[in-house]
Amino acid sequence: MRRNKKERQQLLKETIEQNPFITDEELAEQFQVSIQTIRLDRLELSIPELRERIKNVATQQLEDVKSLEIEDVIGEIVDLELDNSAISLFEVKREHVFSRNHIARGHHLFAQANSLAVAVINDQLALTASSTVRFKRLVKENERVVAKAKVLEVENEKGRTVVEVNSFVGTELVFTGTFHMYRSNKQHGKEGNE
pTM tops 0.75: no
- For residues 167 and 148, the answer to whether their CB atoms sit within 8 Å is yes
- 140 in any annotated domain: yes
Region 77-83: what's the mean pLDDT? 85
- 172 in any annotated domain: yes
> Do 184 and 154 have their domain in common?
yes
Residue 136, domain CATH: 3.10.129.10
Nearest to 52 by CA among 21, 92, 89: 21
- 58 in any annotated domain: no
pLDDT band for position 192 (cuts 50, 70, 90): very low
Q: SS3 of 48, please?
A: coil
- 31 in any annotated domain: yes
Range of the domain at 106: 64-188
E strands in 64-125: 76-81, 85-91
In this structure, are strands 144-155 and 85-91 parallel, antiparallel, or unpaired? antiparallel
- Pick the residue with more confidence: 155 or 114? 114
Q: How does pLDDT run across 159-190, given as a tens digit for each residue?
A: 899 999 999 998 899 999 999 999 885 444 33
> Do 88 and 170 have their domain in common?
yes
> Do 70 and 38 have their domain in common?
no
> Do 35 and 81 have their domain in common?
no
- At residue 81, what is the residue type? E
> Do 163 and 109 have their domain in common?
yes
CA–CA separation, 31 and 34 (whole Å): 9
Tell me what pLDDT residue 99 has.
94
- For residues 68 and 118, the answer to whether their CB atoms sit within 8 Å is yes
Report how far apart, in Å, the C-alpha atoms of 31 and of each of 15, 159, 194 are: 11, 49, 60
- Pick the residue with more confidence: 20 or 64? 20
> Do 24 and 103 have their domain in common?
no
- 125 in any annotated domain: yes
Say how many domains are in the chain.
2
Number of residues in the chain: 194
Tell me what pLDDT residue 162 has.
96
> Do 95 and 171 have their domain in common?
yes
> Do 178 and 113 have their domain in common?
yes
Q: What is the DSSP letter of 97?
A: B
Q: How does pLDDT run across 34-44, given as a tens digit for each residue?
A: 989 998 998 88
Residue 29, domain CATH: 1.10.10.10
Tell whether the torsion through CA atoms of 5, 11, 17 and 20 is positive or negative: negative
| Whether the predicted pLDDT of 143 surpasses 70 | yes
